[in-house]
Structure 1
């Protein structure tokens, strides 16, 4: 096996596989997460929500480009990472996507605003870690993750407001 020299680009087949792998991981997280979302249940409809909650259609409109940017940033960062950084970066992305999916289960399937809040707070920490780790290997990838982190921060505020309004 030939090692790549500093600055040498990965063959296009390897680049394609890296982006495809990143896109597949993000797609699995998106599909698994959407399976858990249940906004039409009596439980969710009965929750008191803040006036600043976006309409239901906005979530799909926002998440679609965010997931695309996560897939692109993940693939690009993995390609830019040195071999010794690649595994930890991939693990960081995997943990992040798992936490992303888990929030939906905690909030909608367990019907727990408090568990959802804990889950989204953990996701926020994971986002900060992922952005910091990504920035060390590729600044453009890290910048592409900022809207995702910002939306998750907004979701944390929204979840906190819902939890506060629905103390039972």
Structure 2
């Protein structure tokens, strides 16, 4: 079992963090009826660059696994101010991640979803910087997540732009 001096075994920690994050992500999407099959979302005009529907569960599952491993690496490090900061950033972005599907898909709030995902972009970037300082691999494991979030941010914005009047709680950010 891999260990970090003065900390809990990495494998044991990952066996908790990975399934926990995967399950939380699944529940967020499932409870908000995210994606295709959603009565509000299905008829919307989709951006031309939107990946096929099958890509979303595959990519999100992979990203949640990487997030869980990254978190486990940091959790096994000795306590420090940077570790606390990194964990706080990770927790904040995870809360927003879990809130995005209910806001966008559940509430049909495109503009609010855009605000949430823009905040996620910032928090995930800050988390990566913090995690890289602690353990480079922990930060690098989050880079695919940031890349996918950038695509998701563009999809969120473009969905609003292509569907004027579809936003159930418009803020005037996308024209929806």
For Structure 1 versus Structure 2, the TM-score category normalised by the shorter chain is 0.7 to 0.9
Q: TM-score, normalised by structure 1?
A: 0.85
Give the match for residue 136 of structure 1.
133
Give the match for residue 3 of structure 1.
none
**SS in structure 2 at match of 1:44:** coil
CA-CA distance at 1:156 after TM superposition? 0.2
Q: How does 1:64-79 map to 2 (within 5 A)?
A: 64-79=61-76
**Contact preservation (8 Å) 1:48, 1:162:** yes
Aligned residues: 160
Cα-Cα RMSD: 1.9
Q: Give the structure with the larger helix fraction.
A: 1
Task: Find the aligned partners of 1:30 and 1:69 in 2 and give their Cα distance.
Answer: 13
**Contact preservation (8 Å) 2:83, 2:134:** no
Give the match for residue 30 of structure 1.
25
CA-CA distance at 1:38 after TM superposition? 4.7
Specify every segment of 5 or more residues in structure 1 that has no aligned partner in the other structure, as ranges: 1-6
Give deviations 1:29-87, integer Å, cap 9, x for gaps.
31332222152123111211112211111101111111111111111122235433333
**Contact preservation (8 Å) 2:89, 2:127:** yes
Residue in structure 2 matching 1:115, options 105, 112, 117: 112
CA-CA distance at 1:17 after TM superposition? 4.5
Q: Which sits farther off after the overlay, 38-47 or 17-26?
A: 17-26
Specify every segment of 5 or more residues in structure 2 that has no aligned partner in the other structure, as ranges: 166-176
Q: TM-score, normalised by structure 2?
A: 0.81
Give deviations 1:73-131, integer Å, cap 9, x for gaps.
11112223543333332222211111111110110111111111111111111111110
Give the match for residue 87 of structure 2.
90
